[in-house]
Amino acid sequence: MLFNSLDFAVFFPIVFVLFWILAKNIKLRNILLLTSSYIFYGWWDWRFLFLIGISSLVDFYIGQKIDRSDNLKVRKKYLLVSLFINLGFLIYFKYSNFFIETFVDSFRLFGKELEVSTLNIILPVGISFYTFQTLSYTIDIYRRNLKPTKDWLAFFAFVSFFPQLVAGPIERASHLLPQFFKKYRFNYRLVKSGLLLILFGLFKKMVIADRAAFYVNEVYNNTELYEGVSYSIATILFAFQIYCDFSGYSDIAIGTARTMGFDLMKNFDSPYFSKSLTEFWRRWHISLSTFFRDYVYIPLGGSKKGNYRTYTNILIVFIVSGLWHGAAMTFIIWGAIHGIILIIEKLIANKKTKIFEILNLSKNNLSNHIFFGLITFSIVCLAWIFFRSNSLPDAFIILNGIFTNFNISEIFLKETYLIGIKQNEFQILLLAIVVMCFIEIRHKKKSIITFLDHQSVIFRWGCYFISIMSIIIFGIYGPRNIQEFIYFQF
Amino acid sequence: MKKLLLKTLLFSTFFCFIIYHIDNYFTKNGGLATRYKNVYKNEKNIEILFLGNSHGHCAFNTDIINAKLSSHSLNLCDGGTNIFQTYYSLLEVLNYHEPKLVVIEVFSILERNLEVDLKDNMQIYKVRNFAQIESKRLGLVKFKEAKVTNSYTDNGFLNVFNIYKNHEIWADLEKMARVIDLNLSFKEFRNYRKSFSSLSPERIKAFENYERQKDKNGEEIILSKEEIQEIKKIINLSKEKKFDLLFVVAPIYKGYYKKVKTQYTIVNKELEEIFDEYDNVKWLDINNKWNGANASLIMNEKVNNNQHLNYKGGMKVSSLMVDFLDKNYSFIKKESTKILETPEDLVFNSKILKSIDTTFHTAIKKINGKNTKEIKLSKNLKNLSINGWMVKENENMNQSEKIIALKKDDDMIFLSNSKMFKNKKNKKLERFGRQAGNAEYDFRFPINILDTGKYSLYSILKTNDGKFFSKKEKKVIYIVE
């Protein structure tokens, strides 16, 4: 079920009302959450419910086994079983064809053609997300950071919790699982803030992301038809598309959970205002970056085994992160670019500080913010080219176009902005991006909810009304236009 | 929780109220929406209601009918409307008015859309004209219509709301502005179609070789049980709400009619048999009466089974309707006494047409380049062109509408439209007022729609405040073969 669909608009209020009716009875409430989560997922394809079921069952059982045993070898064995099953599913469904294709391509490099056909596999929606979530549970128990639950119902509900099931945030059991045992009291303010967050998420997704997609898809799917300026605009728009798409999803997920009293972790923190890539990764897809930090980077040794090992670990983490995003070389290169730039940033960090001291520059002045912000944004955009391109050759065509065929006069041509989109549609897109940035900046200084709470009812209702109407009128939807969230494919 | 529910309820009420009032701005067919607005405005009771598809839209010129009769009529016919939608359009009007007579044109029954079945797999009636449902106000009738037709089955319940279904219309700012303008200003609207073209000799010839295709199911022209059921529903409604029904067949091109006459006769006979059972239902087959319409009464459209009457054809049918209604319905009086609202009110009532206003000045300088009192023009010419001027003292001529009427007899008066005029500045005319400069015009009218004979010319001016001024010109035109 999509958040931006009529099905969800009917489904959610029903679950919301039932939840608060059953709020005091934890068992019934968890039955409701489990059932509704399975309906939510099964709406897409009920056959894959068994995957979530198996994953939940395995980790529930293994979690208890690990906890009960004091023998490290036994504990490790159980952990490996969990890793094998969970990652096995992930690798089979997500990476089988990638490995087959890579295998065939490698032989082709040596002039040998292998006749191996790829498998006809459907990628189960959200598998990368819930697999990581259940893995974190067993790993935390293995590390003795968490006590396993004995309530299978709560655990199954935790794994399949519908607001964040298919595209995160990837929650840690230590944070989310205890919330399934908490007693909730209806909190009007919390519900209101959840609803507003849903509204903002829908605005980002339907007004910005799906509108930007028209331009981006046209250019990226027909690279041979366009040149440098169009590639650049498409890439910048893609930066906003993917941000609004994914952070929009996270907002809706967090908002939906919040209306029922659940607290999900923040997933985005205005990442395009970052002054470095290191900062960018502290603000972009926070739940994934912290997952990789805790479960890949630190086990590899983190930064405690010398500089070279640190750099290697960073590179490994980002290549794995790229691979997590998609089974293609383009994603691996995207991850590698980020890894390399982060290493460079680490290498020059001390020199940068010294230069600042010599020139007596403040790190927090506006020009510094703008200068380094623009550099960071440019690097991020450059990497997005690989992320969005349909193939590696396409990515190089775009890069080549931007760096060798950038006709600056085209910037002033109206036609440059009207690719796959009408003039007033483009204007609305720009305006919506400005509005979104304004809201995010404003919200960082002072919570929008608090701000609205201090306004008159007419102003508040006017804001709600305008927000809803702007989604209804300017949103991209309808039978021909409904767009899935980008991160569903990961 | 109570607080949330209460606030949600209040906000939803406010939200629904706004949506209800702005929903009709999100329609793709401003024309029909404006006609429906006339229904909702409810200033005058609609006494005669015309329903049907594009054939009714072209055949019933309500401006002529209203001008000649002391009754108020409205034409809600629109392209592609079928009998199932007709029932809901009728229901909608009955919510606001008490019509005495409902006239239904039955072409949609005789010539069903060849490409689609009557019902789809879900047993839902297929419709092609979404303007009918989009133009209706949000309400029970609209929801019922959406439920039984395929209007929104593909897209879900939310598509009943125009603002949801047509939200993308905002991107077409010109269309949106036009619809908003129509809704806000409620300008005078024309509720019939007025085409000045007539069937070309090439198309007349093409009709000789044209063969009607069978529909998708291999069926000929038949009356289905669903249609009979729907007609009976309408008849039952007429008895319940106490109004008369008149089913009409508007003429189609005779070159086509002769090929399908046998099939039409069978269906028409079946229909007649149904209608005969009811006292309040009448049947008028103008098409059969005329044995089809001449080429000069038919628009110049593609050669197929779907031919429409042009302006002249509509004028003739409307005159015939006026006589028929006058003879058969006691509530109708032929003498009109009402005030002027349309140019037709003026020209089809010769007493008013003769009225003289000394502050209205006109001159026809040249007709087809000649300045003579009488001029003979061949029907083979493309256009009748007139150079002249008309001015009302101290009136802003930029905001006034110029009209030229060509009158052959009391039933045949052609009125121009604004596109036929090209206004010109004439500083000399500013002696009649500072804003009289745009009073001069070049006027073009297609000759081929005119029958041969003598035509008197009338200059008519409609000012911004809705007042009419007319003057019979001294010059006359003879259209000859």
The pLDDT-based confidence of B336 (bands split at 50, 70, 90) is low
Give the pLDDT confidence score for residue A335 in this predicted structure: 93
A96 Cα to chain B: minimum distance (Å): 37
The pLDDT-based confidence of B299 (bands split at 50, 70, 90) is very high
Q: CB–CB of B294/B309 below 8 Å?
A: no
Domain span at residue A404 reads 190-489
Per-residue pLDDT tens for B10-53?
Answer: 988 988 898 888 888 887 766 788 888 888 887 788 899 999 98
Per the listing, tokens 């894959």 go with: A48
User: What predicted TM-score, i.e. pTM, was given to this entire model?
Assistant: 0.78
Same domain, A78 and A196: no
A285 counts as catalytic: no
Give the mean model confidence (pLDDT) for residues B468-481.
Answer: 89
**For chain A, how many structural domains are there in total?**
2
Same domain, A257 and A402: yes
Give the mean model confidence (pLDDT) for residues B239-243.
Answer: 93
- Kindly tell me if the per-residue pLDDT of B123 is higher than 70: no
Per-residue pLDDT tens for A169-197?
Answer: 889 998 999 999 988 888 888 898 899 99
- Kindly tell me if the per-residue pLDDT of B352 is higher than 60: no
Beta bridge partners of B412: B409
Nearest CA in chain A to B164: A472
B3, B4, B15: best to mutate for the A interface, most A CBs within 10 A: B4
Nearest to B1 among A186, A465, A478 (CB): A186
- How distant, in Å, are the alpha carbons of A122, A125, A261, A289 from that of A132? 19, 14, 24, 12
Q: State the DSSP code for B397.
A: T
A18 Cα to chain B: minimum distance (Å): 12
Q: What is the DSSP annotation of A263-310?
A: -PPP--S-GGG-SSHHHHHHHSSHHHHHHHIIIIITTTTTTSS-HHHH
Q: CB–CB of B88/B134 below 8 Å?
A: no
SS3 B327: helix
Per the listing, tokens 């939940």 go with: A56
Q: State the DSSP code for B125.
A: B
Domain presence at residue A420: yes
Q: Which CATH architecture has domain B346-480?
A: Sandwich (2.60)
Residues in CB range of B347: below 8 A, 6 or more apart: B67, B353, B405, B407, B413, B415, B458, B460, B470
Whether residue B168 and residue A478 make contact (CB cut-off 8 A), yes or no, is yes
Nearest to A191 among B4, B164, B171 (CB): B4
- How distant, in Å, are the alpha carbons of A93, A109, A332 from that of A105? 20, 6, 16
- How distant, in Å, are the alpha carbons of A332, B248, B289 from that of B320? 79, 12, 11
Per-residue pLDDT tens for B198-232?
Answer: 888 999 999 888 887 766 666 677 788 888 888 99
Same domain, A169 and A236: no
Same domain, A167 and A250: no
Domain B2-328 fold is Rossmann fold (3.40.50)
Same domain, A277 and A171: no
B163 Cα to chain A: minimum distance (Å): 7
Per-residue pLDDT tens for A16-29?
Answer: 999 999 988 899 99
Nearest CA in chain A to B159: A478
Q: State the DSSP code for A488.
A: G
Same domain, A124 and A197: no
Same domain, A69 and A209: no
- Kindly tell me if the per-residue pLDDT of B6 is higher than 90: no
- Kindly tell me if the per-residue pLDDT of A378 is higher than 90: yes
Give the mean model confidence (pLDDT) for residues B336-354.
Answer: 68
SS3 A436: helix
Whether residue B1 and residue A20 make contact (CB cut-off 8 A), yes or no, is yes
Give the pLDDT confidence score for residue B247 in this predicted structure: 95
* pLDDT above 90 coverage of chain A, percent: 43
B19, B164, B172: best to mutate for the A interface, most A CBs within 10 A: B164
Q: How far apart are CA B232 and CA B348, in angstroms?
A: 37
Task: Tell me the backbone φ, ψ of residue B379, rounded to 5 degrees.
Answer: -65, -20
Q: How far apart are CA B413 and CA B410, in angstroms?
A: 7
Task: Read off the tokens for B276.
Answer: 């005969």
Q: CB–CB of B410/B323 below 8 Å?
A: no
Q: Where are the domains of chain B?
A: 2-328, 346-480
| CA atoms lying within 13 Å on the CB side of residue B389 | 18
Give the mean model confidence (pLDDT) for residues A280-296.
Answer: 91
Give the pLDDT confidence score for residue B44 in this predicted structure: 82
Ranking A76-80, A143-147, A342-346, A357-361 by mean pLDDT, the lowest is: A357-361
Strands of B383-392's sheet in order across: B360-367, B383-392, B440-446, B421-424
Helix residue spans in A110-176 (DSSP H): 127-142, 152-160, 173-176
Where is B440: in which H helix or E strand? strand B440-446
Domain presence at residue A62: yes
Q: CB–CB of B409/B448 below 8 Å?
A: no
Nearest to A425 among B4, B165, B171 (CB): B171
Give the pLDDT confidence score for residue A199 in this predicted structure: 92
Same domain, A202 and A105: no
Give the pLDDT confidence score for residue A118 in this predicted structure: 65
Choose the catalytic residue: A175, A285, A325, A454: A325
Nearest CA in chain B to A466: B15
- Kindly tell me if the per-residue pLDDT of A245 is higher than 60: yes
Nearest CA in chain B to A21: B1
Q: Which residues of B touch A423 (CB under 8 A)?
A: none
Q: Which residues of B touch A479 (CB under 8 A)?
A: 154-155
Q: CB–CB of B49/B104 below 8 Å?
A: no
B37 Cα to chain A: minimum distance (Å): 23
Residues in CB range of B434: below 8 A, 6 or more apart: none
Query: How many other CB atoms are found less than 10 A from the CB of residue A47?
Result: 10
Same domain, A201 and A148: no
Q: CB–CB of B284/B33 below 8 Å?
A: no
The torsion region of residue B306 among left (phi > 0), alpha (psi -120 to 50) and beta comes to beta
Instruction: Judge residue A354's burial from the number of C-beta atoms within 10 Å of its C-beta, 0-12 exposed, 13-18 middle, 19 or more buried.
Output: exposed
Domain presence at residue A422: yes
Same domain, A19 and A168: yes
Give residue ranges of A with CB < 8 Å to any B CB. Answer: 6, 20, 186, 188, 191-192, 422, 424-425, 461, 464-465, 468, 472-475, 477-479
Q: How far apart are CA B252 and CA B309, in angstroms?
A: 7
Give the pLDDT confidence score for residue B114 in this predicted structure: 47
| Cα–chain center distance at B90 | 17
Per-residue pLDDT tens for B162-197?
Answer: 888 888 878 777 777 777 776 666 555 567 778 888
Give the mean model confidence (pLDDT) for residues A354-376.
Answer: 82
Same domain, A485 and A358: yes
Whether residue B11 and residue A461 make contact (CB cut-off 8 A), yes or no, is yes
- Kindly tell me if the per-residue pLDDT of A56 is higher than 50: yes
A265 Cα to chain B: minimum distance (Å): 25
Domain presence at residue A53: yes
Examine the predicted complex and report whether its ipTM is higher than 0.90.
no
The pLDDT-based confidence of A244 (bands split at 50, 70, 90) is very high
Domain presence at residue A364: yes
- Kindly tell me if the per-residue pLDDT of B385 is higher than 70: yes
From the list B79, B53, B311, B78, the residue with the least C-alpha distance to B197 is B311
Same domain, A144 and A273: no
SS3 B142: helix
Q: CB–CB of B442/B330 below 8 Å?
A: no
> Which one-letter amino acid corresponds to residue B81?
T
Domain presence at residue A1: no
Give residue ranges of B with CB < 8 Å to any A CB. Answer: 1, 3-4, 11, 14-15, 18, 154-158, 163-165, 167-168, 170-171, 173
Give the mean model confidence (pLDDT) for residues A464-488.
Answer: 77
